Amino acid sequence: MIRLEPRPEPSRAMVYLSPLLAMALMLVVGMIVFTLLGQPPLKAFHAFFVEPINDWYGFGELLIKASPLALIALGLAVGFRANIWNIGAEGQLTMGALAAGGMALWLQDSTGVWILLPLMFIAGALGGMLWASIPALLRTRFNTSEILVSLMLVYVAGFILSWLIHGSWRDPDGYGFPQSKMFESNALLLILIEGTRVHAGVLITVVALMLAGVFFRWSLTAFQMRVAGLAPKAALYAGFKQKKTVWIGLLAGGAAAGLAGTAEVAGPIGQLLMPISPGYGFAAIIVAFVGRLHPLGILLASLLMALLYLGGESAQMQLGLPAAVSGVFQGMLLFFLLATDVLIQFRVRWVGKTSVGAA
């Protein structure tokens, strides 16, 4: 019989080991699932985790999927550290992409690339922040749950995008398809690596990773927000401003999601259509947790999650499995992480039947 026993001190080692343990468990269970589906497990493993990245092009695909995941997860981590639960990054991404795309459609015939692209990214960040400011305002002003409001706004953002690309922003020469005109080259991001789709938007993520590293480590605001998350009462007594924490927590996520959305439409997509993201806004929540809300951890977790996306596509082509298998793996990963996290505070003891009765 297994019993949990509180550790005198939280285990530092388990903080780093449990994500690895979660990954290992996900792989083991994944292999079992593949076997049950009648796939030879090694072949499936190869198709899922090796095949997608065994050439430069595939590696590039890994980077351009990891990039939005890491960027959004960093923004969300700012809030999560303070127990601000922005789960609507998917909607903020959509609104950012919409604002940037609108800018491109409006100015691409009259403006050069060096003005247009920065404008698009500013518009994108503002679009995401605008969408995140709604739950922030309602939370600070009316004490409304930011979880439910930010999530509801994901659906609303989707309908706004749908309305625009079915209506005034629809490409008149697009045979009636609900999508905008293709962007001109001055509204598109530069390709960084020849022969791949790796675009300059990846650089934004790299900069964000470094900035977040500095911010989390040295800024007083980040410290105050961390305290607000870990010990809300202590933060209150210390006079840290609660409203500021809510606003920064939500706006950081909104800005990051908006930038990620901009990089998607100015990068691999090149126009506005539905959907803009294959659930990056939700997957980034997992990335933030698996990465322990820490920039380096988020970088590694984003690569793993990107691989799960690519693995799903590859499993579809190679094994004829639905690509949605990615979502199953991603969900499992978070389950296993949350489950193994118990080992940080507790130690597992094997005890005989008799002592269980006494406990």
Partner 1 sequence: MDMNTVILMLAATVAAAVPLIFAALGELVVEKSGVLNLGVEGMMIVGALFAFIVAAETGQLWLAAMVGALAGASMALIFGFITLSLMANQVATGLALTIFGVGLSAFIGQGYTSVALDGLKELSIPGLSALPIVGKLFFAYNILVYLALAAFIAVAWFLYKSRAGLILRAVGESPSSAHALGYRVIRIRYLAVLFGGAMAGLGGAYLSLAYTPLWAEGMTAGRGWIALALVVFATWRPGRVLMGALLFGGVTIAQFHVQGLGVEIPSQFLSMLPYMATIVVLVLISRDAGVVRLNAPASLGQPWHNELH
Interface with partner 1 by CB under 8 A: which residues?
4-6, 85, 87, 134, 138, 142-145, 147-149, 151-153, 155-156, 159-160, 162-163, 166-167, 282-283, 285-286, 289, 321-322, 324-332, 334-335, 338-339, 341-342, 345-346
* Least distance in angstroms from the C-beta of 137 to partner 1: 10
In this complex, which beta carbon is closest to partner 1, that of residue 172 or of residue 320? Answer: 320
Q: What is the DSSP letter of 47?
A: I
* Least distance in angstroms from the C-beta of 323 to partner 1: 9
* Least distance in angstroms from the C-beta of 185 to partner 1: 31
In this complex, which beta carbon is closest to partner 1, that of residue 157 or of residue 208? Answer: 157
* Least distance in angstroms from the C-beta of 108 to partner 1: 25
Q: Using an 8 Å Cβ cutoff, are 19 and 297 in contact?
A: yes
Query: Residue 198, SS3?
Result: coil
Q: How many residues are listed for the chain in this entry?
A: 359
Q: What is the DSSP letter of 191?
A: B
* Least distance in angstroms from the C-beta of 312 to partner 1: 9
Angstrom distance (rounded) from CA 129 to CA 115: 21
**Which neighbouring-strand residues pair with 57?**
none
In this complex, which beta carbon is closest to partner 1, that of residue 125 or of residue 285? Answer: 285
* Least distance in angstroms from the C-beta of 3 to partner 1: 9
* Least distance in angstroms from the C-beta of 239 to partner 1: 20
* Least distance in angstroms from the C-beta of 113 to partner 1: 32
In this complex, which beta carbon is closest to partner 1, that of residue 22 or of residue 212? Answer: 22
* Least distance in angstroms from the C-beta of 359 to partner 1: 9
Angstrom distance (rounded) from CA 72 to CA 53: 23
3-state secondary structure string, 221-269? HHHHHHHHHHCHHHHHHCCCCHHHHHHHHHHHHHHHHHHHHHHHHHHHH
Q: What are the start-end ranges of the H helices in 108-219?
A: 113-142, 146-166, 201-218
Angstrom distance (rounded) from CA 349 to CA 292: 26
- DSSP assignment of 256-317 equals HHHHHHHHHIIIII-S--S-SSSSHHHHHHHHHHHTTT-HHHHHHHHHHHHHHHHHHHHHHH
Q: Which residues contact 214 (CB under 8 A, 6 or more apart)?
A: none
In this complex, which beta carbon is closest to partner 1, that of residue 27 or of residue 122? Answer: 27
The alpha-carbon radius of gyration of the chain (Å, integer) is 22
Angstrom distance (rounded) from CA 130 to CA 250: 10
In this complex, which beta carbon is closest to partner 1, that of residue 186 or of residue 318? Answer: 318
In this complex, which beta carbon is closest to partner 1, that of residue 83 or of residue 186? Answer: 83
Query: Residue 193, SS3?
Result: coil
In this complex, which beta carbon is closest to partner 1, that of residue 125 or of residue 134? Answer: 134
In this complex, which beta carbon is closest to partner 1, that of residue 96 or of residue 312? Answer: 312
